[in-house]
Amino acid sequence: MAGKGLPLGIDVGGSGIKGAPVDLGKGAFAANRLRTETPQPATPEAVCAVIADIVGHFGEARGDAPVGVTIPGVVRHGVVQTAANIDTSWIGFDAEAYLAKEIGRPVHVVNDADAAGVAELEYGAGDHTKGLVILTTLGTGIGTALLYDGELIPNAELGHIEMNGGDAERQAAQSAQERENLSWEQWAARLHDYYTHLESLLWPELFLVGGGVSTNADKFLPLLDIRTPIKAATLRNKAGIIGAAHLAVTEAAKAKAKSGKK
């Protein structure tokens, strides 16, 4: 079991809710991850009850250390604005305030791709790259995270940019490859269009590619002829939990400094 006072990261997905205490010095789990099936319907109250159970499971990690929670949707000031793979009743729900009251600890709620991007930059393939780094997660859709000089620019929805007259993720997400039975070469041609469009708009220093398909990065990344360096993410399904914990601690420190406490 983890040591007392460690922050927790909890990653909410459409099929599972996963959590673990995190050693931020190492960027690694401090205890085995706990996974629970996402309740159906995935209403805020039902999901928050599971999150509270996961927090309670790691009893020795309790203390007053913050808890970071990822949500598959846009989150502004703790309030969920969109809902992907969870119930639409999340929209407008103040998840941060509700969970803080429920579990009695500081809570920071963040978009899942944003959490993964922070983790990769701090502890993974991003390697603290300066300038603009863009993480993309290729799965059912395309999640994106923007980080500039290590600072997160939250809630970038760049999977939905227009490409070839339509929504980019509908054409270039991994689900499109599976739905249309595209070869790696055919899919890479679509990814090429997507990444060249992004780099023409934003001129990043680095692209990071996450999502489950990143385990097969050698089959499609070498086929992309783009000017920006592009690398596979390395933390994979740990990234959301680690990034959420990191952001929770960072935001708690900012709040403490703002309040004038020592």
Query: Where along the chain do its domains lie?
Result: 8-114+238-259, 127-234
Convert the pLDDT of each residue in 200-212 to its tens digit.
999 999 999 999 8
| Residue 57 contacts residue 35 (beta carbons within 8 Å) | no
For β-strands 8-12 and 16-23, DSSP reports them as antiparallel
* Omega prior to 41 cis, within 30 of 0: yes
User: What's the average model confidence in pLDDT over 118-129?
Assistant: 97
* pLDDT at residue 132 tops 60: yes
CATH class of the domain whose range is 127-234: alpha beta
Read off the pLDDT band of 177 (50, 70, 90).
Answer: very high
Alpha-carbon gap, residue 39 to 42, rounded angstroms: 5
Read off the pLDDT band of 173 (50, 70, 90).
Answer: very high
The answer to whether domain 8-114+238-259 and domain 127-234 are alike in fold is yes
CATH architecture for residues 8-114+238-259: 2-Layer Sandwich (3.30)
Read off the pLDDT band of 61 (50, 70, 90).
Answer: low
Alpha-carbon gap, residue 111 to 167, rounded angstroms: 20
- pLDDT in the model for residue 250: 96
Convert the pLDDT of each residue in 231-249 to its tens digit.
999 999 999 999 999 999 9
* pLDDT at residue 137 tops 90: yes
Query: For residue 74, which phi and psi values (nearest 5 degrees)?
Result: -75, 135
Read off the pLDDT band of 86 (50, 70, 90).
Answer: confident
State the CB neighbour count (10 A cutoff) for residue 257. Answer: 10
- pLDDT in the model for residue 62: 55
Read off the pLDDT band of 30 (50, 70, 90).
Answer: very high
Of 240 and 258, the structure prediction assigns the larger pLDDT to 240
